[in-house]
Amino acid sequence: MIPTYHIADFPSFQAIDNQFMVERFEYLQRPPKLEWPHKHSFYEIMWLTSGKSINVIDYHQITIEPDMLFFISPGQLHLMNKAESVTGYSLTFTEDFLLLNTPNKDAVMEFAFLDNSYSDPYFKLDDEAIRELRPVMELLFEEAIRKDKSPFIIANLLFVFLKRIQRSINTEEGSITDLISVVRFKQLKKLIEDHFKRETKVEFYAEKLNLTAHRVNEICKQVTGKPTGEIIRDRVLLEAKRLLLHTEQSIGDISELLGFKDFSYFSRQFRKKEGMTPAEYRKELYQRYQSYH
């Protein structure tokens, strides 16, 4: 069973209940007997100022270096292999905390870089982005270390910090993805998360969103470059990987759990995507990740 950790599991004076925390990465207190891999029930943004850290998010290995933001979203599988002479910030928050000062319940969905499993979960800061973000991070930290810290001030500063990240990303990419499409896509992803084991047809999700299948496909291609069907298949594949590596269930049981009536079809689809059979994947990944904490 893969454990899920909450903000309250990481003791810090700079925390607000189980909803927010900002801490220097080098002083971050971890839970006793922290298990790897694990999941978070919260968002985390890591900003390294020195050193490097090798992380794996849902089986994508990423080396985090100075002045690179690294985003971890709720439910993602997280492994950390090495952290060498690392300094910087760890900023964690829940969706409820971010929404503390806004009636807009889609506010979290408007930040395209959060829950961004379809792309690289990091952003390299240039000099302009650092000038934009550093003062806000310092204000967040200064408010958080006060005995009379204000959740409302911190929530507003957090919102500004995220808005500036999004603006920096948009500036670098040279284009702004339509905000409505981003929100719709994240609504789709939440539906897929809830139903992917039973529903793989685009029409099911389109009906839930009160959109046509064609429109849903347009949104997915605009935001991710992938058609809807591929996004659904990717989520099924991710679950297959998690079960293969972190459970002792037979491959046949995993195939059935994920809605495949034909075991051989599951094996063929897995091999087509990963270049190896489920059994080969289980063996290779187990050996590879034995070295991780």
Segments making up each domain of the chain, as ranges: 4-173, 179-289
Domain 179-289, CATH homologous superfamily name and number: Homeodomain-like (1.10.10.60)
By three-state DSSP, how is residue 136 classified? helix
The confidence score (pLDDT) of residue 118 equals 58
The per-residue pLDDT for 180 is: 86
pTM to 2 decimal places: 0.88
Query: What's the pLDDT at 182?
Result: 87
The tokens for 43 are 């968002």
Counting as low any pLDDT under 70, the low residues of the chain are: 82, 117-119, 174-177, 290-293
pLDDT value for 177: 62
* Topology agreement, domain 4-173 and domain 179-289: no
33-57 pLDDT tens trace: 888 889 999 999 999 999 999 888 8
Smallest CA-to-CA distance from 136 within 166, 116, 163, 114 is with: 163
What crossing angle do the helices spanning 179-195 and 228-246 adopt, rounded to 10°? 40
CA–CA–CA angle 135, 139, 144 (5° rounding) = 150
Q: Do residues 231 and 192 lie in contact, with contact meaning Cβ atoms separated by under 8 Å?
A: yes
pLDDT of res. 290:
64
Task: Give every CB contact of residue 194 below 8 A, 6+ residues apart in sequence.
Answer: none
- Please report, for residues 51, 78, 181, 189, 201, the alpha-carbon distance to residue 205 in angstroms, rounded to integers and kept in the order given: 43, 28, 15, 10, 7
Which residue type occupies 122?
A: Y
What is the reported pLDDT for 281?
92
How does pLDDT run across 175-192, given as a tens digit for each residue?
A: 556 778 888 999 999 999
Topology of domain 4-173 in CATH is Jelly Rolls (2.60.120)
